[in-house]
Amino acid sequence: MKHSILEMADYVESCSGFINGVAIVLGSGLGDFTEQLDNPSVIPYHAIPNYPQPTVEGHSGEFVIGNYNNIPIITAKGRFHYYEGHDIETVTLPIHLFQKLGVKYIIITNAAGSVRMSMPPGSLMAISGYADCTFRKNLMTPQIVSDVSSKLLVCVEKASKSEKVKLKKGIYCWSQGPGYETPAEVEYIRNLGGDAVGMSTVPELQAAEQLGIEAIGISTITNYAAGILDQPLTHNEVIETANRTKDDFAKLIGATIENIGELL
């Protein structure tokens, strides 16, 4: 391992006292959720020995640690994308760090594009399956993997009912980026059975699975993917919709954490 994860985990634990809680990775434009935490402490990534730095606008690069209804929470604001040139080891580093901190449950969030008219921008989608559509290893047809944590899926579904926040379920497809997809790529993803497309989350879900940590992904649908509508899409549109949806998102995540709290 080129990163000394134990050293990083020791540092985070010594600064915050965090151990054995729930971890949340906050995607683009979703970072405000940390305002819901009691007694927050902030650890900038640059303060952690050898921790890498993210570079994308809208991702600030810090852990915010606090309590939600007395449940210890660590949030990662800012993630490492494969398209930034980070290797998979770096992309999944936060998941490995969470494991060293005793985390058993992780919520991984992102902003994603919808490939279906039936899922408009502003929708929240629990990831019930995913596919690696990067073609970075081979050119074979991507397989849909559906073994996400059923326990956590139930926690999100219960949260959606109790908070009266509408929730869809669907297949998230990882496209490599950094540019948005072409309309032809979006059509390919739809024909494959995908519902949403984004540039993250799949490596993190795979790492959690390998480490035996229960993980669930939740997408905020910020736009129709390229070619669904007859207009270009922009990063601003993604950030604006994430902003517009953030109250529902916060309610859904909050109630999901409470439900996970019953499993701890």
Residues of this chain that bind ligand HPA (CB under 6 A): 111-113, 175, 180-181, 197-199, 222-223, 225, 238
CB of 245 to ligand HPA, least distance (A): 12
Query: What angle, rounded to 10 degrees, do the helices at 202-211 and 93-100 form?
Result: 30
DSSP conformational letter for 262: T
- Nearest residue to ligand HPA, by Cβ distance, number only: 113
Q: What tokens were used for 7?
A: 């050293």
What type of residue sits at position 151? K
CB of 222 to ligand HPA, least distance (A): 5
CB of 59 to ligand HPA, least distance (A): 12
Q: What tokens were used for 125?
A: 């989608």
**Continuous segment of H or E residues that includes residue 40:** strand 38-44
Which C-beta is closer to ligand HPA: that of 215 or that of 242? Answer: 242
Beta bridge partners of 168: 125
Which C-beta is closer to ligand HPA: that of 18 or that of 180? Answer: 180
Which C-beta is closer to ligand HPA: that of 14 or that of 191? Answer: 191
Which C-beta is closer to ligand HPA: that of 181 or that of 195? Answer: 181
CB of 226 to ligand HPA, least distance (A): 6
Provide DSSP, 63-86.
EEEEEETTEEEEEEES---GGGT-
Give the contacts of 31 (CB within 8 A, at least 6 positions apart).
Answer: 58, 59, 60, 77, 78
CB of 217 to ligand HPA, least distance (A): 13
